Amino acid sequence: MPPLTDSIDPTDTPAVVLVHGLCGFERLFARRRPAKGHFPGVAAHLAAAGHAVFVPRVSPTASIAVRAVELLHAIRARFGARPVHLIGHSLGGLDARYLVSRLGFGTQALSLTTVGTPHAGTSFADWAVTRFARLARPVFRSLGLPDDAFFDLTTEACARFNEATPDVPGVRTASVAGECSTPWLGVEWRFSSKIVGRREGPNDGVVSVASAAWGERREVWRADHLNLVNWPNRFMVRAGAWRDRGADYAGLLSRFNR
């Protein structure tokens, strides 16, 4: 693990690290232009606000513990001990919490904002693991891929995670939850949304508002799980109801200065 630097220059402009979620990616169709990242348009808004922005790539399906160590190495390689704001989407929010709480990153993190993160787990993961783990695990092993992330998102695993991963005093915290229902919810989310909705209530298609609520500041956006990271909602676009969420990310950070 890279060594911690004892002192951090408070005059450095804080950087922003965007942490992708399960099966996430830094860039999609990188050989084509324009390339679309996991957080399309968000980096440009944050850069316009004066932040250096980094979207590290970590294992898409490894455990939270493994992804957090990869995240630590990536940040240290890019920024050293420079102060950073962390913004994690979905599983990425749990990675960032582990990084701050259990890997000593609380001395460097200025804030941690989670977006659509299942802090209490998601009942859709419970449903999927119960029914498909025996079938999927041999496939992942044959491909040499870990499958731990799927199990880390169950409600039972997240309960254990929360007990072992306390918040760190001095690191500001916030969360954004998504709530999306018909007619705005796409067909790709409707099945999982019903499962989560029956057990947990309003949700973004896979993570409930209740599970995503965490930290000292909490917001709820009208968005599905990917709309939260600025992937346009096609139904809202057609209806003229879609808004670019990129600017909202700069607003999330500005709230910590109040």
Q: Is the pTM of this model over 0.75?
A: yes
Q: What is the pLDDT of residue 243?
A: 86
pLDDT tier at 41, thresholds 50, 70, 90: very high
Domain positions in the chain: 15-257
The CATH code belonging to domain 15-257 is: 3.40.50.1820
Q: How far is CA 209 from CA 82, 114, 144, 191, 203, in A?
A: 33, 12, 34, 17, 5
Residue 28, beta-bridge partner list: 36
**Whether the Cβ atoms of residue 204 and residue 224 lie closer than 8 Å to each other:** yes
Residue 121: is its pLDDT beyond 50? yes
Q: What is the pLDDT of residue 138?
A: 63
Q: What is the pLDDT of residues 153-194, one digit of tens each?
A: 999 999 999 999 999 999 999 999 999 987 889 999 999 999
Residues 113/176, Cβ–Cβ less than 8 Å: yes
